[in-house]
Amino acid sequence: MKNKVIVITGANGNVGSYFAEQYLNAGEKLILCVHKSVSRLKPLQQKFSNSFAVCKADISDLDALKDGLTEIITTRKWIPRALIHTVTMRSSDFLPLIETDPLRWKRIIDVNLNGTYNILKVLLPYFRKEQYGKIVLFGSNVTRIGLSRGSAYAASKAALANLCRSVAIEEAGNNIYLNTISPGPIKIDDSHFSESYREFRRNYYKEQIKEIPLKRHASFKDIFGICKFLLSEENSYITGEEFYVTGGRL
Mean pLDDT on 155-173: 98
- Residue 233: the pLDDT is 96
Cα–Cα dist 216/178, whole Å? 28
Residues 216/209, Cβ–Cβ less than 8 Å:
yes
Kindly indicate the confidence band of residue 179, based on its pLDDT and cuts at 50, 70 and 90.
very high
Kindly indicate the confidence band of residue 192, based on its pLDDT and cuts at 50, 70 and 90.
low
What b-and-e string marks burial along 89-108, b requiring 16 or more CB atoms within 10 Å of the CB? bbbbbbbeeeebeeeebeeb
Residue 141, pLDDT > 90, answer: yes
Residues 122/65, Cβ–Cβ less than 8 Å:
yes
Cα–Cα dist 183/167, whole Å? 21
DSSP string for 66-117: HHHHHHHHHHHT-EEEEEEE------TT---GGGS-HHHHHHHHIIIIIHHH
- Burial zone of 55 (CB within 10 Å; 0-12 exposed, 13-18 middle, 19+ buried): buried
Cα–Cα dist 94/31, whole Å? 33
For the segment 213-222, what is each residue's pLDDT rounded down to a tens digit?
Answer: 988 888 999 9
Specify the CATH architecture of the domain 4-245. 3-Layer(aba) Sandwich (3.40)
Mean pLDDT on 153-161: 97
Helices 151-171 and 115-130, axial angle in degrees (round to 10): 20
- Residue 191: the pLDDT is 66
Q: What is the pTM of this model?
A: 0.93
Domain range annotation of the chain? 4-245
Residue 138: in which H helix or E strand, if any? Answer: strand 133-138
Mean pLDDT on 57-75: 98
User: How many residues are there in the chain?
Assistant: 250
